[in-house]
Amino acid sequence: MSAPAPAAPGGTLPAGPPEAVVAWVNEAGAGTLAGRMGVTFQEATAQRVVATMPVRGNTQLQRILHGGASAAFAESLGSLGAALHAGEGRIAVGVDLNATHHRPVRAGTVTGVATALHLGATTASYEIVVSDEAGRRVCTARITCAIHGGRGTRGARGRG
């Protein structure tokens, strides 16, 4: 196992092997919304991001997973993928998010998988599928991120 990548200034994602990036994101993200929601990243590349989130603490009054929690979870995954795609000196910001909620979840952990749909020079789009512990689809989301900064450079294009 590789040592975690060094912390980058200003929240910039570090370069390094995928497992080092995941370790850094989980540590650096502790004080973020994703951290407060209990999100743990398992895999993180520009092409695919995988994470888990507990249902407990992320419910609405009816004690089922809150739709806003699913949407924030999905945005966290897609935004991380877009940031990895953007590369050094550039940032990715969400400009569109939609989510369809398919079934309630009352307990356990959900898993989100963000898969790149488009990795361009100025935008990146992802489909995020959130599933329960039985593998049933709970939510399907799509996010588009605008990529800003570093004019004249193209980030890691996500190909390789």
Instruction: Quick: pLDDT tens for 10-34.
Output: 456 777 788 889 999 999 999 999 9
Q: What is the pTM of this model?
A: 0.86
- Res. 3: pLDDT tops 70: no
Rg (CA), the chain: 15
Query: What does the pLDDT read at residue 5?
Result: 38
Q: Specify whether the CB–CB gap between 37 and 73 falls below 8 A.
A: yes
φ/ψ (deg, to 5) at 116: -65, 135
**Residues 41-63: pLDDT tens digits?**
999 999 999 999 999 999 999 99
- Res. 8: pLDDT tops 60: no
Read off the DSSP letter of residue 47: S
With 0-12 CB in 10 A as exposed, 13-18 as middle and 19+ as buried, what is 39? buried
- Active-site amino acid positions: 75
**Measured between alpha carbons, how far is residue 149 from residues 46, 54, 79, 119, 122 in Å?**
18, 34, 16, 16, 10
Query: What does the pLDDT read at residue 155?
Result: 46
**Residues 64-85: pLDDT tens digits?**
999 999 999 999 999 999 999 9
**Residues 92-117: pLDDT tens digits?**
999 999 999 999 999 999 999 999 99
Q: How many CB atoms are closer than 10 A to CB 136?
A: 10
